[in-house]
């Protein structure tokens, strides 16, 4: 039985990843949503489920410092004794404004959700990851988290999101460096046709983000399937073309 945990399973890319893994046989898919009791998330339970597979929902509100541990406690209570794959996908992005005027509360919310929550989740999950024969951690990051590319792309107006994603990348490289058994890497999924992605596309004059959710999920799952410690771990990968993005 392969156990996969996906954060941000309630919408966008995370929702589609959850559906895709449930279509695979013998998979326990753990999806985190902001509040598993909220009726708007119950339709996740209507996804087609392959033989031997099942869905478990847990609650992780991104800014909470206690939800990640509680979610893992709930996972253990459900009889899960290991986790093979974590896709840290949940994220927020505030309105794009220059660093001169960005509200600090937006920076704090971004950092709590996009950086601290994955760190807290890893701390809580580590014993379960250690029990996997080949544990994998994918951080769904963004090209705007590349410090090297700030002057290349002029990312001054995406400061809160960029700072948090740079922090996520640092954390992910730390996982790679400090855990010899773990395959840990960051990915840029492309500008995807989600609510957040389309909003970002419009901010740069595009009508719609260029990458469909289906294309993005196909690339994400292939990247996880093919990831190895030698060739993938510690890298920041552009899923649009497979190239490596500089940190």
Residues labelled as active-site residues = 161, 165
Separation in Å, CA 56 to CA 29, 74, 92, 162, 211: 6, 10, 23, 31, 28
The residue behind tokens 């253990």 is 76
Q: How far apart are CA 89 and CA 228, in angstroms?
A: 20
**131, burial (CB in 10 Å: exposed 0-12, middle 13-18, buried 19+):** middle
**218, burial (CB in 10 Å: exposed 0-12, middle 13-18, buried 19+):** middle
Handedness of CA 75, 38, 214, 246 (dihedral sign): negative
Q: How far apart are CA 232 and CA 229, in angstroms?
A: 6
Name which of 35, 34, 31 is nearest 45 in CA terms.
31
Q: Which residues pair with 185 in a beta bridge?
A: 138
């Amino acid at each position: 039985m392969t156990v996969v945990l996906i954060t941000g399973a309630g919408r966008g890319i995370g929702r589609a990843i959850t559906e895709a893994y449930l279509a695979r046989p013998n998979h326990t898919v753990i999806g985190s949503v902001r509040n598993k009791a909220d009726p708007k998330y119950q339709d996740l339970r209507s996804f087609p489920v392959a033989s031997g597979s099942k869905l478990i929902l847990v609650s992780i509100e991104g800014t909470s410092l206690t939800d990640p541990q509680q979610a893992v406690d709930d996972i253990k209570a459900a009889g899960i004794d290991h986790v093979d794959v974590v896709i840290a996908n949940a994220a927020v992005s505030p309105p794009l404004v220059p660093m001169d005027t960005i509200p600090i509360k937006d920076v704090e919310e971004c950092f709590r959700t996009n950086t601290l929550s994955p760190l807290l989740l890893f701390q809580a999950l580590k014993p379960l990851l250690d029990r996997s024969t080949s544990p994998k951690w994918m951080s769904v990051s963004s090209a705007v988290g590349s410090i090297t590319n700030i002057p290349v792309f002029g990312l001054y107006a995406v400061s809160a999101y960029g700072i948090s994603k740079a922090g996520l990348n640092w954390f992910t490289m730390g996982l790679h460096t400090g855990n010899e058994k773990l395959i840990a890497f960051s990915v840029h999924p492309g500008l995807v046709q989600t609510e957040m992605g389309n909003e970002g596309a419009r901010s740069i004059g595009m009508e719609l983000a260029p990458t469909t959710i289906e294309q993005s999920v196909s690339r994400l799952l292939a990247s996880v399937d093919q990831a190895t410690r030698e060739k993938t771990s510690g890298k920041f990968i552009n899923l649009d073309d497979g190239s490596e993005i500089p940190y």
